[in-house]
Structure 1
Amino acid sequence: MDKLEIAELIDANVNQIHSLIQVKVKIWKEYVLFSDLWWFGFFLSIAPWIIWFWIRKKQSTDRILYVGFFVMIIALMLDILGDQMGFWHYRYNVIPVLPTYFPWDMTLMPVTVMVLIQVKPKVHPFIKAIFFALVSSYVAEPFIHWLKIYELLKWRYLYSVPIQCMIYLFAHWLSTRNKFEKIMIEKERPHL
């Protein structure tokens, strides 16, 4: 196959995907938007951040947000990968064109990790990692599956445990980093 034929194949595939996304958005507008499970997801997208804002240790805000953004990025990447590989899929998305469950990746995972890092800081990170992984994998995932938001295809809750542990442990490690160069902004000097 030459480059032109490959490009045509890829373009045809993209056109099919685009058509299916349009169907997904239509279904979402007609049946999902403003449904009880959509409102539930909307609430889960906002409420944990408000709670975190009130309970956070103010002097650690920047450091903890740094960790939260890391967790968001990893959760989003892994969720997209799992969805695209056919391991699971989501119904009742808050945002229809995302193949992930926005409240999970952008709120529940990062806020939970940020709170765990700040609460009981003397508890060994492995204990917190195991706690986080078990609650995420055997309480949160089954709950959203029970609500019919999350559909497992080629995935088991057990598979999530080591991944969740590693995410927490790496986030904890990031939270202890302190080698940031201070940015010095020089005052603008008048040109002579």
Structure 2
Amino acid sequence: MNEFDKIVELGKKGQKALNQYWLDYSLYASVEYWMMVLFFAGPLILLLFKIDRTKIFRIAFYGYSVHVFFGYEDLFGRNMGYWNYPFPVIPVLPGISMDSSLIPVTFMLVYQWTLNHEKNYYLYATLTAAILSFAFKPILVALGLFKMYGNVHYFHLFLSYFSVVILAKVITDFFVWMKSHAKTEQNDGSTT
């Protein structure tokens, strides 16, 4: 337990150092910081106007699934030292702009579009994952908003996005199936 306590203490020191870095360099006053704020607030505002309210719970459940799974993957990547965000909106939640807004909302709108236009979700989600991995992330890297370390490549990011959107879709489909199955059972029970 002593070793574990030392590890926890190291984590606290690391977070304290990040908080101090955020304050010392006045990251909250930089253009990069405000871009990250925009990446957080902008998609959420857009979603308020664009979400299909007739399917809001299904789309929101899907988006929440993307948020949770992507948050786990992003946390894993940051904890392993694979990547990080030099200009966090909130130092204790470095990836909040991406994890909680930009990525989930992007995929929610793709999911909604494929539902409403009866298009192949897997094709368009994969294309979106590719665009985010091979076009958007390199732009973030060039702007200094995202850093990758070690042998991490954009293909690794693509695999991360791809696994999240597949898992989110499978989970959503499972709950949609359970809901429709429950209605069928209710109807069968009331007719007998």
Q: Do the structures match in fold with TM over 0.5?
A: yes
Question: Is the aligned partner of 1:152 residue 2:148?
Answer: yes
Structure number with larger C-alpha Rg? 1
**Greater fraction helix:** 2
C-alpha contact 2:110 2:125 (8 A) present in aligned 1: no
Q: TM-score, normalised by structure 1?
A: 0.83
Match of 1:179 in 2: 178
- Find out whether 1:107 has 2:101 as its counterpart: yes
Could you list the runs of 5+ residues in structure 1 that have no partner in the other structure? 1-6, 183-192
Alignment partner, residue 89 of structure 1? 84
Q: Is the 8 A contact 1:45 1:103 kept in 2?
A: yes
Report the Cα distance in structure 2 between the residues aligned to 1:16 and 1:173, rounded to whole angstroms.
Answer: 38
Once the two structures are TM-superposed, the CA of residue 105 in structure 1 deviates from its matched residue by: 0.7
Deviation at 1:160, TM superposition (A): 2.1
Identity, in percent, stands at 22
Q: Distance in 2 between matches of 1:161 and 1:52?
A: 24
Give the direction of change, closer, same or farther, for the CA distance of 1:27–1:169 in structure 2 (3 Å limit). same
Structure 1, residues 147-180: CA drift from partner, whole Å, max 9, x if none?
1121111310012223322322333344442423
Once the two structures are TM-superposed, the CA of residue 120 in structure 1 deviates from its matched residue by: 4.1
Q: Size of the alignment, in residue pairs?
A: 175
Give the Cα separation in 2 of the matches to 1:20 and 1:171: 32
Are 2:43 and 2:102, in contact at CA under 8 Å, matched by a contact in 1? yes
Determine which of 154, 158, 162 is the counterpart of 2:159: 162
Structure 2 stretches of 5 or more lacking a match?
A: 184-192
Give runs of aligned pairs for residues 30-109 of structure 1, distance below 5 A: 30-31=24-25, 32-98=27-93, 100-109=94-103
Kept in 1: contact 2:107–2:125 (CA 8 A): no
The 2-side partners of 1:165 and 1:77 are apart by: 14
Relative to the length of structure 2, the TM-score reads 0.83
User: Could you tell me how far 1:48 is from its partner in structure 2?
Assistant: 0.5
Residue of structure 1 equivalent to 2:8: 14
Q: Give me the whole-angstrom Cα distance separating, in 1, the residues matched to 2:36 and 2:12.
A: 25
Distance 1:145 1:55, change over 3 A: same
